[in-house]
A and B are shown apart, each in its own frame.
Chain A
Amino acid sequence: MSKKTIHIPLGSQHISLLEPVRFKFECENEKIVGVDSDVGFVHRGIERACTTKFKFDAIGYVVARVCGLCAITHSLSYTVAIEKLLGGEISKKAKYLRILLLELDRIHSHMLCLSHTCENAGFEAMFMRIMGDRELVMEIQELLTGNRIQFDYISIGGVNRDLDVQTAKKIIENLALVKAKVFSYIDEFTNNWSLSLKFKGIGALTLEDAYRFNAIGPLARACGLPIDVRNEIEYLPFDEVGFKMQTHNDGDINARNMVRLNEILNSLEMCENILRGLPEGEIFTKLKGKPKGEALMRFEAPRGELMYYVKGDGSAMLNRVRIKTPTFACIPAFSHIFMGEEYADAPAILASFDPCLSCTAK
């Protein structure tokens, strides 16, 4: 083997990527020995816009536009941080409805990620199947909130729409259909050669490295690191609705897929529990005043931990809104995983991370 290395870029426009990210790989023959990443292609300056252009009560809708897939987690984290500053408690029903939408969002986001993993393994038919089944979830999201992706469901003080009986019935029906489909995916992802054996041992991260690089989300849980913000916050009653931590020990692509599939099942169970035991009450409590002081709120987005830091000085304009998105915090871990892998596996590994670059660059 010669000592000479070659540089091969992946992105920013690449056939297997949906997102504008560029990795510059330094390769020794087929093996990757060095990684350099560029993630700032879609920077829109949302943090600055939040402190200069918009008043605090409109920012919930602004930050929802950071990302299409985890829009609900963004607006929820911001809104809860503001609610903390304003003081005052929102009703239990609103909290349950917030969890319901959060989990529906997680289901459709994980399904999207799984379908892209299939696509990058060369399994187009499965990609289309999962994308088709994902419509079942999108449909109920539209019924519940009025829109497929930009829900705009959460406002300061509660939620915007109530759940009626017909919608609840439709949600239960569709979730039962999704559940049957997810079991068939689990079968495919464990027994199909191109989805399971091919992925075993590829792109692995050890538990030690997961701790060292502060990995989060399904990436960390696939290595056995028990980090899930749903377990670490008191604000929403996740333990009441049946949250269970899903972990795996292998840390490779297959493990990440299995963690995601198990999380979908857990989310489905949580949604059912919420619909069965939805408490009575108002969905909206009016909160008055202007935010003063600083608050920090974390939530579990589909890709991992999302953090909002909000600082206000008692006026309608905020002093600082800091958004820490899951993919942004994982970039050092991503780069570490690529080291020592083969270049040909890079697209599949990248798809298994489920990166969200529009979150990262905000």
Chain B
Amino acid sequence: METTQSIIRVENLKRTFVVGSEEVHALKGLTFEIKKGEFVSIMGSSGSGKSTLLNILGCLDQPTSGEYYIDNISVRQRTKNELSEIRNRKIGFVFQSYNLLPRTSALENVELPLVYNPLVSHQERREKAQYALEMVGLKDRMGHMPNQLSGGQQQRVAIARALVNDPVIVLADEATGNLDTRTSYEIMSLFQNLHEQGKTIAFVTHESDIAVFTSRTIFLRDGHILRDEQVETKSAEEALKNLPVDNDY
């Protein structure tokens, strides 16, 4: 039953912050599941708790209560080092502002997650990074520094970096937030390609016109799930073709 294998499962997930003497309930008991091969967008306005959720899903933060399983491993009560290892082996991050190391070639940026995995040899690291860059269509830009790349290209390098450790899930945080419409669509098209190749992707955004490119949307409001529904996926490639030409400069 490979297609129904659960990648992410959260049960009654709560996260409470203590700010001064007040308790802020950012997440008020979320329960959902992301299965292997899904392309999920997590939507919500600011303050809805989507960043908090993403931090927990990314094992950067721990829930106050509730269970979180990634790849059927419970994340509760893990040490910092164990969480680091889970991030290193199971998760690929894509950030809004790319977060590439400056003055470091695309190839070396992509290699970075594998540097922290002692099981991967130097040779293997290089090969995997090259392959990941090929997947995002930057085969001929491997030696370029981030400042020699356009925003879209930088985000592709970041996506390659997220893919290089072959994670069970790619977590994207407003990955198109810094890009113009055309480049956004290009990136979404890339994500759709990866999805077709079987990657599991969770895409956090507040833009509904980006969410339409995913296959399922979870709406958050005030720490609750407002809606969780399958959506009709629009093709990003189609959308790209329909863009007015004058938008291209």
Q: Do A and B come from one complex?
A: no
Binding site for A on B (CB under 8 A): none
